[in-house]
């Protein structure tokens, strides 16, 4: 079924919208949740939450990209679950990703004001837009989808070490870009 048709089911409050969403995007959503949480039961719970959130948001929301819309919900749901259970040290997928993201955080300055996440997103969008498509796809696959470095290395036909270096370079580039823009977190 086309995305527009599924969205119409939501607008008509037809509960088969949930079944169709699960059929078409269940695996996609589960993959993202698993990359963050690594515990299957928790990931499945996130995916179910995602369908319900979608049900509550559509209408009035009419997403331009239904897939990305679902991806964002499942990703946010997974990180909420991660944060709730963080003290129990149950998840490691996100731990690794977060520690890598430290490399992108610019050093604190004297005069600059801390910026909001929304503003930071705009800077990241600008930076991403200036990257080569392959580098952009790699960054997004690693830090948005949460793909493992070794899987990305396999997809590009290079060693894990080389992919680690490549990701390190990308993170440093982002840090340099944000520093140049005077961004402070």
Partner 1 sequence: MKNETMYDAISEIREDFIEEAENYKFKKKTSSRLMKWGSMAACFCLVVLGAGLFMSGALAQKGAKVEQNGNMTGKTSSSAPGENPVASGLLTVLAYNGAFYNVSNELLVLNAAGIDNTITSADCGLFLGNLALTENGYEETVYDTDIELYQYAQAYSNTAVYVIRDGEEYMAGLFSNNFTVGNADDYSPVSELLRRYGIEEAAQLASVGEVNGTVTGGTVVGNITETAALEAFYEAVMTMETGCYGREEFRALMLEVMTEDEFMRLLEAERLLCIETAEGLKFYISWYPELGWLYSGGTTAYYMITEEMQAWLDAYMTK
Member of 30, 46, 71, 170 binding partner 1 (CB under 8 A): 71
Distances in Å between the Cα of 174 and the Cα atoms of 110, 135, 146, 153 are 20, 12, 17, 20
Neighbours of 35 (CB within 10 A): 22
Rg (CA), the chain: 18
Least gap, CB of 85 to partner 1 (angstroms): 14
- 158: which DSSP letter? S
Nearest in space to 66 (alpha carbons), one of 27, 99, 25 = 25
Least gap, CB of 79 to partner 1 (angstroms): 7
Member of 48, 96, 105, 181 binding partner 1 (CB under 8 A): 105
Cβ proximity of 32 and 78 under 8 Å: yes
Between 6 and 152, whose beta carbon lies closer to partner 1?
Answer: 152
Between 31 and 44, whose beta carbon lies closer to partner 1?
Answer: 31
With CB under 8 A, what is the number of residues at the site for partner 1? 49
Q: Enumerate residues 129-148 that contact partner 1 by CB under 8 A.
A: 133-134, 136-138, 140-141, 143-145
Least gap, CB of 24 to partner 1 (angstroms): 13
Neighbours of 32 (CB within 10 A): 25
Question: Which range touches partner 1 (CB under 8 A), out of 15-23, 38-46, 49-57, 127-135?
Answer: 127-135
Cβ proximity of 64 and 134 under 8 Å: no
Round to whole Å and give the CA distance between 21 and 6: 7
Which residues in this chain contact partner 1 in the complex, by CB under 8 A? 28, 64-65, 67-69, 71-72, 75-76, 79, 83, 94, 97-99, 101-102, 104-105, 117-118, 120-121, 124-125, 128, 133-134, 136-138, 140-141, 143-145, 152, 155-159, 161-162, 164-165, 169, 185
């Amino acid at each position: 079924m086309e995305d527009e048709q599924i969205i119409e089911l939501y607008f008509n409050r037809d509960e088969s919208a949930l079944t169709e969403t699960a059929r078409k995007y269940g695996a996609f959503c589960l993959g993202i949740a698993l990359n963050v949480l690594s515990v299957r039961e928790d990931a499945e719970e996130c995916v179910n939450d995602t369908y319900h959130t979608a049900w509550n948001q559509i209408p009035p929301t009419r997403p331009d990209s239904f897939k990305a819309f679902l991806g964002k919900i499942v990703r946010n749901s997974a990180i909420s679950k991660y944060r709730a259970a963080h003290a129990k040290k149950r998840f490691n997928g996100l731990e690794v990703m977060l520690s890598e993201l430290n490399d992108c955080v610019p050093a604190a300055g004297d005069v600059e004001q801390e910026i909001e996440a929304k503003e930071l997103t705009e800077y990241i969008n600008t930076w991403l837009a200036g990257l080569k498509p392959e580098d952009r796809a790699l960054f997004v696959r690693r830090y948005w989808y949460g793909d493992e470095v070794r899987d990305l290395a396999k997809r590009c036909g290079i060693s894990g070490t080389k992919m680690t270096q490549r990701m390190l370079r990308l993170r440093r580039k982002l840090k340099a870009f944000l520093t140049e823009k005077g961004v402070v977190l």
